[in-house]
Amino acid sequence: MPSDTSALHLVLSADPVLMAIVGLSLTVSLAAVVLATLIGLPVGAALALTRFPGREAAIVTLNALMGLPPVVVGLAVYLLLSRSGPLGSWGLLFTPQAMVIAQTILVAPIIAALARQTVEDLWLEYRDELAALDVGPRRRLATLIWDARFSLVTALLAGFGRAAAEVGAIIIVGGNIEGFTRTMTTAIALETSKGDLPLALGLGIVLIAIVIAVNALAWTARRAGERLAG
Amino acid sequence: MQTRRTLIALAIAAMAAIPAASAQDKSIVVSSTTSTQDSGLFGHILPLFKAKTGITVKVLAQGTGQALDTGRRGDADVVFVHAKSAEEKFLSEGQGVKRYPVMYNDFVLVGPKSDPAGVKGGKDIVAALKAIKSKSAPFISRGDRSGTHIAELNLWKAAGIDIEKGLSVKDLGPWYKAIGQGMGAALNTASASNSYVLTDRGTWLSFKNRGDLIVAVEGDKRLFNQYGVMLVNPDKHPNVKRDLGQAFIDWLISPEGQKAIADYKINGEQLFYPNAKDASA
Amino acid sequence: MLASDLPIVLQDVSVRTREFAILDGISLKLMPGAPTVVIGPNGAGKTTLLRVAMGLVAPSSGEVSFGGRLNVPPTWRAIVFQRPVMLRRSAAANIEYALASAGVAHSEWPRRIAELFDTVGLTGLDTRPARRLSGGEQQRLALARALARDPEVLFLDEPTASLDPAATKAIEDVVRAVVARGIKVVMSTHDLAEARRLAGEVVLMHRGRVIESGPAARFFESPDTEEARRFIAGDLLV
């Protein structure tokens, strides 16, 4: 990125390098959230609705996993995907796919833990009525997830926030390669270490603005949905 | 569930939409140093290489130690750093095929305008370092096993000062601070704390946050910094792209590549001096 | 209907917690026909009795049979809880949910919903979010939801406990309409007057036991037990 241009100028002129970086950030984080939801939502819901020995320990573990340090996850995934590692032949190291994998690992516990809490709370409310209506386990799961959808979307947004903000994991597995695996956060880290603090700060503001925009979009969708459903 | 199927399809589409690096791509991974990357050299020469050969070079910028370790893991195809002793160790381990000298740049000692060690304008780096120690003038070191860090330690040794020993027995004094980060971070810290710091000229020329820092010592032959390039040994790491990697090396030492390196200038100043022909480099 | 759930027979049923017995050795027969009203002071175990008879709670000891069979799923029974929980959807969607759970064909839904709304007097409120209905309206919606299952037996747990007289009358009218259709109603109340208005059969409970049960007229005219007499007279049973 031309380092003698302010971040505002880059935004206003839709600088192609900046656009590519923003695009990659959003693609990686959104893909990670989608995958993390596919994994985390069923796990969270299952944990909410089933009873088995060690359930409480599982819940505590899941909640703790929300705080997985990104650098540690990045390191672990790096060692897995390294050419001298077990999955090296997949050739995924230093690619956006590796970044998606690392972020999915970070985000899935968040979605699972929040989904568990949300579904469990709603189930306590609905439990008697669903039993009285003789609702089977499949239907019950679908009903709880559908009726709790707004709270669940909040969980997804929490996951997206985590993914969009982190740099520790993706810089290790992605390598911050210019034009290929450079995202907003890794670009900010780079410009900071190069000493171009105004540019780094400007990029940071752009990133925050994007995250706010995503949240505003989700909020608007939620209000529209609420008005329709009650 | 219909929704679930749609979501899975979305996720797969998302993953696929991001261009993947595959063995069929004409691309190589070159692990190099942050100072080389930050100097902007790659931004200048890589497009020329791609135009000629169609090969995309992905540069992984790390400290020298890290860059060589990445090569040891087979995660890079080519290693391009500036620490001859570390590179020769790499070769002796059988991790690299052959070392080719490519170019050199130089280090400069920058320091505060107020010059507490009284070394400004000098041409003798060893004398300057001795003065800094004797006056306990604040000094920032990268401390990150990078080529720059290794060069710095060697210069202290030439001045008769064993920095690593001093650090380990803790009798060095608070004037010397090792921060364990890259050149830009070290310059930032030196600027913020009005300290001396050894930096490569390229990073200094592009550095914008100078504060009160100026060049204190330059031109000493001992400040010259030699770059070497090596192909990671495909016999040890079968995934290494031998032909593409060698093509990059061949281009770097070719007259065309050497000219491209010499043509790179910041504010009209040349940063890197090609010397592939110098067998002793 | 292939087999009937009636009579519902409780044989020496107890429901125990670690501290005490909520139901203590109850033997009771719920026969088809006139509504059964369960009365008694708070804490007598009325709610638990209804839940056991509905098949939602398994007894700690004793047996519950439905038309001579054990462990029958509640396909032909329905219950309205004392504080019914509305699904977070529109009023009509709540009914749709019950219809879907009961396996009613989609094509039938508009007609059934209109019918049920008419029965409980909620016509015109289809699209209102169910949680924004008033207390009385929610009770009636819960009733409609229960009736959507086309039950043989309808349990009502203190359906008018928190309602004003107008809303109470509305509910009681629906109960009478339901009874007229041949549905067996089993209802609990702590309002003696309501019991007098609606009961065909009365069951008096106190401290987890059935004190007395029998046809309403006889119960109110000349009760057998001392407790029943005192309860009818308005004394507090402790």
CATH code, domain carrying C180: 3.40.50.300
Q: What percent of chain C has pLDDT over 90?
A: 69
In this complex, which chains have at least 3 CB pairs below 8 Å with chain A?
Answer: B, C
Within a domain: C226 = yes
Query: Across the interface, do C54 and A132 touch by the CB < 8 Å criterion?
Result: yes
The tens digit of pLDDT for each residue in B86-97 reads 999 999 999 999
Q: ipTM, 2 decimals?
A: 0.86
Other Cβ atoms within 10 Å of A86 Cβ, number:
10
Query: Across the interface, do A100 and B15 touch by the CB < 8 Å criterion?
Result: yes
pLDDT, position B156: 93
Where do the domains of chain A lie?
Answer: 7-229
Confidence at B4, pLDDT banded by 50, 70, 90: low
Greater model confidence, B22 or C80: C80
The tens digit of pLDDT for each residue in B248-273 reads 999 999 999 999 999 999 888 888 99
pLDDT, position C203: 95
For chains A and B, CB pairs below 8 A equal 102
Q: Cα–Cα distance between A215 and A226 in angstroms, integer?
A: 16
pLDDT, position B22: 45
pLDDT, position B46: 96
Query: Across the interface, do B23 and A91 touch by the CB < 8 Å criterion?
Result: yes
Query: Across the interface, do A83 and B4 touch by the CB < 8 Å criterion?
Result: no
Whether domain B106-223 has CATH 3.40.190.10: yes
Q: What percent of chain A has pLDDT over 70?
A: 96
The tens digit of pLDDT for each residue in C207-237 reads 999 999 999 999 999 999 998 999 998 888 8
Residue C16 near chain A (CB below 8 Å): no
pLDDT, position C28: 93
pLDDT, position B268: 87
Within a domain: C87 = yes
Which residue among A125, A134, A230 places its CB closest to the CB of C89?
A230
pLDDT, position B21: 43
**Which of the residues C77, C83, C101 would you substitute to probe the A interface, choosing the one with the greatest number of A C-beta atoms within 10 Å?**
C101
Beta strands B139-141 and B27-33, pairing class: unpaired
Task: Find all residues with CB under 8 Å of C37, minimum gap 6, and list them.
Answer: C187, C188, C189, C194, C195, C198, C199, C201, C202, C203, C216
Query: What is the pLDDT averaged over residues C191-195?
Result: 91
Please report where in the chains the tokens 């305008």 appear, as a residue.
Answer: B113
Q: What percent of chain A has pLDDT over 90?
A: 69
The count of structural domains within chain C is 1
Identical topology for domains B2-105+226-274 and B106-223: yes
Residue C89 belongs to what domain range? 8-233
Confidence at B10, pLDDT banded by 50, 70, 90: low
- A126 to chain C, minimum CA–CA distance in Å? 7
Residue C72 near chain A (CB below 8 Å): no
- Using a CB-CB distance cutoff of 8 angstroms, which residues of chain A are in contact with residue B184? 192-196
Q: Which CATH superfamily is domain A7-229 in?
A: MetI-like (1.10.3720.10)
Greater model confidence, B183 or B103: B103
Residue C50 reports pLDDT greater than 90: yes
pLDDT, position A221: 83
pLDDT, position A230: 52
Looking at the domain covering B2-105+226-274, what would its CATH class be? alpha beta
Other Cβ atoms within 10 Å of C56 Cβ, number:
17
Query: What is the pLDDT averaged over residues A94-106?
Result: 96
The tens digit of pLDDT for each residue in B80-137 reads 998 888 999 999 999 999 999 999 999 999 999 999 999 999 899 999 999 999 999 9
**Which of the residues B197, B208, B237 would you substitute to probe the A interface, choosing the one with the greatest number of A C-beta atoms within 10 Å?**
B208
Residue C136 near chain A (CB below 8 Å): no
Within a domain: C109 = yes
Q: Cα–Cα distance between B17 and B1 in angstroms, integer?
A: 24
Q: Which residues pair with C26 in a beta bridge?
A: C13
Query: Across the interface, do A82 and B4 touch by the CB < 8 Å criterion?
Result: no
Q: What's the distance, Cα to Cα, between the start and end of chain B in Å?
A: 66
- The average confidence (pLDDT) of chain B is 88
Backbone angles phi, psi at B213, to 5 degrees: -80, 140
The tens digit of pLDDT for each residue in C129-185 reads 999 998 889 999 999 999 999 999 999 999 998 888 988 998 999 999 999 999 999
Residue A124 near chain C (CB below 8 Å): no
Query: What is the pLDDT averaged over residues B74-81?
Result: 96
Query: In chain A, which residue's Cα lies nearest the Cα of B239?
Result: A83
Query: What is the pLDDT averaged over residues C13-33?
Result: 91
Lowest mean pLDDT among B8-22, B26-40, B51-65: B8-22
Residue B33 reports pLDDT greater than 80: yes
Q: What percent of chain B has pLDDT over 90?
A: 61
Residue A3 reports pLDDT greater than 60: no
Query: Across the interface, do C85 and A143 touch by the CB < 8 Å criterion?
Result: no
Within a domain: C1 = no
DSSP A76-138: HHHHHHSTTSTTGGG--TTSHHHHHHHHHHHHHHHHHHHHHHHHHHHHHHHHHHHHHTT--HH
**Which of the residues A24, A193, A197, A199 would you substitute to probe the B interface, choosing the one with the greatest number of B C-beta atoms within 10 Å?**
A193
125-144 of A, contacting C, C-beta below 8 A: 125-126, 128-129, 131-135, 139, 143
Confidence at B169, pLDDT banded by 50, 70, 90: confident
**DSSP secondary structure code for residue B121 in this structure:** T
Secondary structure (H, E, C), C106-149: HHHHHHHHHHHHHHHCCCCCCCCEHHHCCHHHHHHHHHHHHHCC
| Contact B/A (≥3 CB pairs under 8 Å) | yes
Confidence at C3, pLDDT banded by 50, 70, 90: confident
Residue A129 reports pLDDT greater than 80: yes
Residue A224 near chain C (CB below 8 Å): no
Where do the domains of chain B lie?
Answer: 2-105+226-274, 106-223
